[in-house]
């Protein structure tokens, strides 16, 4: 696109009133692997796709516990994400120490957004290249926020970021109206389905995704692989065994699940799509 003239510095406006460096930073978020979040009145679920570079290496950590009542899932430059997570943890622990009370998540995201904004207005800095899905509690219940590299933040009922997140967003757009009253387990199920949408044909296994939950009375924790695989099996097998029944039920839950297409001849032996 013809925008090379005004994109050298973050402190240079384009004639159309845009800061290209900031937009490029948001592009970096879109390149990262998917992360999704959804919330009900009392719980927030964060999930992400964890693809390792090769079978030899370990997965990159994309979900961080910030405090017992706040967690964050990132997409984009994970190094930037780690730094921001450290900042968030620091803020939470300082607030807890002074007030012996948890920092309301709404206030944390504003501080985070202000921190990101600084980097869009200094010639010697660059914007953070990471998008953060922050889930947490405050006095009015559970909340989910999305923090942009631009310094903007929005509250969401459900959201997806990263590559192929549009597929997940489409799924979430169909179901989000029921989320507020969803049970914790239904929320997790919907999260897994949304993650599956971003895989576009690949089989959903617990080894390539991470799921974390937090809620009123439930501190933030990442579900272990076994539990996740169990949940996947619970909900996937139902489809595989009776796909016709499901469609006939007309709940319009989802389209033909991609897992059905590839006959599961070799569980786990299929090479990963990078």
Partner 1 sequence: MASDMGASYGSTLRYKSVERMKPIGKHSLLGASGEISDLQEILRYLDELILYDNMWDDGNSLGPKEVHSYLTRVMYNRRNKFNPLWNSLVLGGVKNGEKYLGTVSMIGVHFEDNHVATGFGNHLARPILRDEWKEDLSYEDGVKLLEKCMRVLLYRDRSAVNKIQIAKITEEGVSISKPYSLRTFWEFTAFRNPTVGAEGSW
Range 106-125, binding partner 1 (CB under 8 A): 106-107, 110
Output the six-digit token pair for 47: 């999930």
139 contacts partner 1 (rule: CB under 8 A): yes
> Can you tell me the distance from the alpha carbon of 257 to that of 243, in angstroms, rounded to the nearest whole number?
9
Mind spelling out the 3-state secondary structure of 51-94? Answer: CCCCCCCCCCCCEEEEECCEEEEEEECHHHHHHHHHHHHHHHHH
Residue with smaller CB distance to partner 1, 71 or 104? 104
Which member of 16, 99, 250, 274 binds partner 1 (CB under 8 A)? 99
Q: Which stretch binds partner 1 (CB under 8 A): 101-109, 121-129, 158-166, 225-233?
A: 101-109
Residue with smaller CB distance to partner 1, 39 or 196? 39
String marking each residue 56-95 x if it binds partner 1 according to CB under 8 A: ----------------------------------------
- The residues that bridge with 134 in the sheet, in sequence order, are 72, 145
Length of the chain, please? 274
Residue 20 three-state SS: helix
> Can you tell me the distance from the alpha carbon of 50 to that of 205, in angstroms, rounded to the nearest whole number?
10
Residue with smaller CB distance to partner 1, 168 or 214? 214
Phi, psi (5° rounding) for residue 135? -115, 135
Give the helix/strand (H/E) hosting 235.
helix 225-241
Residue with smaller CB distance to partner 1, 20 or 146? 146
217 contacts partner 1 (rule: CB under 8 A): no
**CA-wise closest residue to 50 among 35, 29, 30, 37:** 35
Which member of 23, 138, 186, 253 binds partner 1 (CB under 8 A)? 138
> Can you tell me the distance from the alpha carbon of 46 to that of 37, in angstroms, rounded to the nearest whole number?
4
104 contacts partner 1 (rule: CB under 8 A): yes
CB of 110 to partner 1, least distance (A): 8
CB of 111 to partner 1, least distance (A): 11
Which member of 4, 58, 98, 123 binds partner 1 (CB under 8 A)? 98
CB of 69 to partner 1, least distance (A): 13
Binding residues vs partner 1 (CB under 8 A): 97-101, 104, 106-107, 110, 138-140
């Amino acid at each position: 696109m013809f925008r090379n003239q005004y994109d050298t510095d973050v402190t240079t406006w384009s004639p159309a009133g845009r800061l290209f460096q900031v937009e490029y930073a948001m592009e970096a978020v879109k390149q990262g692997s998917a992360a999704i979040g959804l919330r009900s009145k009392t719980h927030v679920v964060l999930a992400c796709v964890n693809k390792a570079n090769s079978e030899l290496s370990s997965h990159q950590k994309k979900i961080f516990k910030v405090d017992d009542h706040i967690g964050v899932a990132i997409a984009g430059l994970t190094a930037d994400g780690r730094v921001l997570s450290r900042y968030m943890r620091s803020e939470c622990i300082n607030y807890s120490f002074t007030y012996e009370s948890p920092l309301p998540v709404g206030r944390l995201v504003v501080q985070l957004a202000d921190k990101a904004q600084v980097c869009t207005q200094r010639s010697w800095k660059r914007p953070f290249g990471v998008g953060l899905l922050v889930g947490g509690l405050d006095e009015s219940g559970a909340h989910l926020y999305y923090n942009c590299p631009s310094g903007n933040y929005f509250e969401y009922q459900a959201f997806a970021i990263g590559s192929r997140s549009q597929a997940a967003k489409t799924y979430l757009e169909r179901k989000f109206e029921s989320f507020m009253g969803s049970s914790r387990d239904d929320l997790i199920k919907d999260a897994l389905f949304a993650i599956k949408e971003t895989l576009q044909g690949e089989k959903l296994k617990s080894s390539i995704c991470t799921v974390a939950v937090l809620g009123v009375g439930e501190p933030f924790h990442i579900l272990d692989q076994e539990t996740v695989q169990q949940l996947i099996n619970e909900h996937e097998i139902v489809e595989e065994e009776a796909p016709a029944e499901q469609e006939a039920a007309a709940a319009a839950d989802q389209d033909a699940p991609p897992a059905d297409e590839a006959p599961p001849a070799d569980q786990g032996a299929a090479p990963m799509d990078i």
